[in-house]
Amino acid sequence: MVRAEDGGYLIPPMKILKNYIEQELEARILVTKRLSPQRISEKKESKNEERRFQFKEEEFTGMQEALKKMKELTKTLKEQKGAVKDKAPV
């Protein structure tokens, strides 16, 4: 260390750099605490829920389409049965 004119010590540039780096690390640690593993897992869970919801929605639309097809098939079957009854020999 170098003594200053006022009797104090001058801080060498490496010491300043070290202090700056320590402050930066502390700040980053605080930021990462806000994004703690628990918080990150909560975000992942919410994304998973969104995916599940999308899947359920797709499943629901698929079920609706299947229901429409079933109704159409039953309608055509009823029409065919009616046509068969009409053509049946008396």
Provide φ and ψ at 22, rounded to 5°. -60, -45
pTM for this predicted structure? 0.33
pLDDT at 10: 64
Task: Give 10's contacts (C-beta < 8 A, 6+ positions apart).
Answer: 1, 2, 3, 4
Domain ranges of the chain: 10-75
CA angle at residue 22 from 39 to 41, to 5 degrees? 10
- pLDDT (tens place) for every residue of the chain, 90 residues total: 555 566 666 666 677 778 888 888 888 777 766 666 666 677 777 777 777 777 666 677 777 888 888 888 888 888 887 766 666 555
